[in-house]
Every structure is written in structure tokens, then in C-alpha cells.
């Protein structure tokens, strides 16, 4: 997180910790080995919410990099 903070400061960007989320991206097999343990990431004394999926530039990205959630969203909007 320090590298991200330094990069954003150098490039004149401000990161809003209250709007930011975290996501652990791994294979389904790896996630079953890890279990349900949550990764707690702090930024400016704010714990970032851990999410399984997030819409990014109109595409739903999930923690396994699968298209299922995005395709289901597209199909529901037809």
C-alpha cells in the first residue's frame, strides 16, 4: 500500500479509502485451500472492504477472473 500511496502522490492523485475496495484474485482451487479467511487491508486508517466481484469500466470482474457474473448481468438486461 505504501507503493500505491507514493505513486498516487507523485502523480497528483488522491485515493479515497472509503470508496476503495480490495479483492483477492486466485483460482477456485486455491480459494478453497485458503478458506474463508479475509484479507484486511488498511489505507489511511481505513479498512478496505473485501469484495468477491466489482464492476470496472462496465465489466464485472470477479475474484476468479471468470465471466459468469458479467454474462449473467448482460443476460438479465436483455
Confidence tier at 36 by pLDDT (50, 70, 90): low
Q: According to the model, what pLDDT value does residue 10 have?
A: 94
Return the domain boundaries, the chain.
4-77
Nearest Cα residue to 22 out of 3, 46, 6: 46
- Which pTM does this prediction carry? 0.68
Contact between 7 and 15 under an 8 Å Cβ cutoff? The reply is no
Q: Where residue 57 falls among pLDDT bands split at 50, 70, 90?
A: very high
- Residue of 42 and 72 predicted with greater confidence: 72
Q: How far apart are CA 38 and CA 34, in angstroms?
A: 9
Residue 55 or 44, more confident? 55
Amino acid at each position: 500500500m505504501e507503493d500505491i500511496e507514493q505513486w498516487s502522490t507523485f502523480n497528483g492523485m488522491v485515493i479515497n479509502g472509503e470508496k476503495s475496495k480490495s479483492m483477492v484474485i486466485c483460482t477456485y482451487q486455491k480459494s478453497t485451500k485458503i478458506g474463508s479467511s479475509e484479507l484486511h487491508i488498511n489505507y489511511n486508517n481505513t479498512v478496505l472492504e473485501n469484495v468477491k466481484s466489482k464492476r470496472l469500466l462496465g465489466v464485472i470482474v470477479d475474484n476468479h477472473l471468470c465471466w459468469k457474473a458479467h454474462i449473467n448481468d448482460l443476460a438479465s438486461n436483455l
